[in-house]
Amino acid sequence: MDPERREILDSMGFIWDAMQAKWEKNLLALETYKAIYRNLLMKQSFVVPDQDPAWPKDTWNVKLGVLVYSCRMRKDDLPPEIHDALTAMGFVWKVRDQGTGQGQPPIFSMSKQYEILEVLQAKQKLEGHTKFTTLPRTFVVPSSSEWPQRLHGCNVLVSEFRRAYRMCLLNASIVAKLDDLGFVWNDNQHQWSLTMEALRTFKKIYGHLKVPQVFEVPKDDRKWPVHLSTMKLGLKVGKIRGRQTELTLEQRQELDALDFVWDANKLHWNRKLLALKTYKQFYGDMRIPTKFVVPLDDPAWPVDLANIKLGLVAFHLRSKQATLSDEKKQELNMLGFEWSVKSSSLDQTR
């Protein structure tokens, strides 16, 4: 095409790539929907309203619900850049994972919505903090004095209530009041945020993320936020390691930024090496009595080594020498580990 003619068409806003222009409009519509409704979950019948100033004019009358359904059905056929753009804006690829499957939409009458609001207002007063308000997936108000008598026995289907919210089926004024209470609409996201807060707090206190499997956030400890009290952080860390492939890139990056320890076996091995090295610095040898346990609250020892049964560790290393990798044997040899020790020296106490 003649360059001069192309320049004239460009100045007129001529669209050379119709497919790209169509996707730009679709993405704009999705971004607008999310800005208005705070999610990308919608009925298949949803159409962008005409003449609505809240929506860009180019998106008016777009059959957005059909588009979303089509994207899910053709997920593997989408261009990579489109797939990535949708994922980045929080597109939900599996609606059943979000509790918005093909079953009947959850209906909550206005009286029930107000009742649930009352329950959550009462619950906030019992939380002990104002950071957020939440309930288990299903909840029945107990018949105890701390709860208003008129609410006793009230049944709250919390998961269904959240699903109704995602489908925009709740009264806007109720939603606004629940937002003011800090009600947790997305429990998965909420649990992740709590876990990350607990990990950051643990690292701030201990200087590392070598979280023992049995570690539980202490109760009534001022170093810890009250809303994290009694969290079984050690178990949560184990679950994170066990489902690494299920984590999003953003979640992995969050953990990496904290120097999260992904390999528990390597962590345990390094703790053993550090304990052996520390022992040798104190006693000058590796003839560790079988009953020796790293002392608790001894400033001479790294705090995360407390209570390690180092005598048994050394005993098992010797007895399993044949099964150790060459790399581990080399590391032990570099420490001066003694593979053969007289039994009489192992019965001593230190």
Higher pLDDT: 204 or 72? It is: 204
Domain-located, residue 129: yes
Residue 194 has pLDDT above 70, yes or no: yes
% of residues, the chain, pLDDT over 70: 89
Tell me: do 133 and 200 sit in the same domain: no
Domain-located, residue 105: no
Determine how many CB atoms are found less than 10 A away from the CB of residue 253. 10
**Which of 207, 222, 257 lies at the terminal end of a domain, its last residue?**
257
pLDDT in tens, 135-181: 998 899 999 999 999 999 999 999 999 988 888 889 999 999 999 99
Domain-located, residue 62: yes
pTM to 2 decimal places: 0.55
Question: In the structure, how many helices (H) and strands (E) does the chain have?
Answer: 14, 2
Tell me: do 195 and 174 sit in the same domain: no
Q: What are 140's strand-pairing partners?
A: 155
- Provide the residue type at 107 as one letter: I
Domain-located, residue 158: yes
**Angle at the Cα of 50 (from 48 to 51), degrees rounded to 5?**
130
Domain-located, residue 209: yes
Tell me: do 20 and 57 sit in the same domain: yes
**Which of 181, 213, 230 lies at the terminal end of a domain, its last residue?**
181
Q: What is the dihedral of CA 284, 288, 292, 298, to 10 degrees?
A: 20
- How far, CA to CA in Å, does 13 sit from each of 23, 26, 55, 236, 254? 17, 19, 21, 54, 42
Domain-located, residue 328: yes
Domain-located, residue 41: yes
Which residues form the domain of 338?
Answer: 264-346
Instruction: Pick the closest to residue 314 from 334, 286, 336 (CA basis).
Output: 286
Report the range of poorest mean pLDDT among 14-18, 82-86, 197-201, 233-237: 14-18
Q: So what's the pLDDT on residue 229?
A: 93
pLDDT in tens, 21-41: 777 888 899 999 988 887 888
Name the band, by pLDDT with cuts 50, 70 and 90, for residue 350: low
Domain-located, residue 122: yes
Tell me: do 90 and 134 sit in the same domain: no
Tell me: do 329 and 246 sit in the same domain: no
Q: What's the rounded Cα separation, in Å, for the pair 232 and 211?
A: 10
How many domains does the chain divide into? 4
